[in-house]
A and B are shown apart, each in its own frame.
Chain A
Amino acid sequence: MSEDKKENVEPASLDPEAKAELDRAFEDLYRTHLRDIYSYAYYRVGNQHDAEDLTEQAFLQAYRHFDRARRESNGRPLRPWLIRITHNLASNYYRDRSRRPQTPLDSTGPIAARHGTEAIAEGREELRQVIEHLDKLPDDRREALIMRFALGMDNREIARALGRTDGATKVLIHRAIKQLQEEMSDE
């Protein structure tokens, strides 16, 4: 089998026993990470409808490449791989549909769309501030913070999801938090 064909192996082409085992493993993966994928999708797009679409597409893509991903992961957790798929789909979502918010100062971003009202209702001014500033961070910094705080991913997992080194990811998160601190203290 050529290298190209190896890379394009799909679940349907496996023998029945291997396919059944693969499907069981994928079901476990799906049940374990559905909330993570949905949470990440929601924080990226800011509405339930598109978050559901992204989640579904992410798992379909994951299913298609699951066999290869599992072989190449060498036993490492597959959550960063799933998040990376979702991350790429969310990027395409903005690029293809030109939906990326232009983030003028008074705009409402994806995260504020969900939490802004809650925070205001609860009188949590600080929470409202951090949400607004988070939405205005550069994409890579905001996404790293979503992975860290919404999904509880460590630096190594985030690095794998973003395709960066551990060191670069540590710096990215440090700078993101520092930027938030500075901007909030300026108010």
Chain B
Amino acid sequence: MSEVERLLADALRPIEPPERLSGRVEDTLTAVTAAAAEELSDWAEELSESELHSLRDPRNWVRPVVAVGVGGVATGALVLLEARRRGRQQASGRLRTLTERIR
């Protein structure tokens, strides 16, 4: 390693991100995930209503049951994620803007 390379290695040390950044990015990603779960939950509800009439046909049972299960999981995930997000006590206005931007 030349002298210049040694100096570069000394000057360009990795920089530790501030603690708050980790929480901030995680919160944003959590908000995005929650929004996706909410969409999924809405979709499952619509599906169960629109296909109620077909539930009498055993050939159609698998799909609605899976959809309701998915809705339950997604809703549960949404509740957990929301609780986690609130626990961090971060301002959410900015996150919503970011979430809207990438949806």
Contact = CB atoms under 8 A, between A and B. Distances in A.
Interface of A: 11-12, 16, 19, 23, 26, 30, 34-36, 38-39, 42-43, 48, 52, 55-56, 59-61, 63-64, 111, 114-115, 119, 126-127, 130-131, 134, 145-146, 148-151, 177, 180-181, 184
Contacts of B4: 130, 177, 180-181, 184
Given A30-B29, A59-B25, A184-B4, A12 B11 contact: no
B102 A64 contact: yes
A150 B8 CA distance: 9
B23 to A, nearest CB: 11
A77 B4 CA distance: 29
A48 B103 CA distance: 27
B14 A39 contact: yes
B16 interface: yes
A75 B73 CA distance: 30
Task: Please report whether the interface of chain A is mostly helix, strand, loop or mixed according to DSSP.
Answer: helix
Contacts of A43: 12, 15
Given A63-B29, A177-B2, A19 B12 contact: no
A126 B17 contact: no
23 contacts: A11-B36, A19-B36, A34-B22, A36-B14, A38-B17, A38-B21, A42-B15, A43-B15, A48-B18, A52-B21, A56-B25, A59-B25, A59-B28, A60-B29, A60-B102, A63-B29, A130-B7, A130-B11, A145-B8, A150-B12, A150-B13, A151-B14, A180-B4
B74 interface: yes
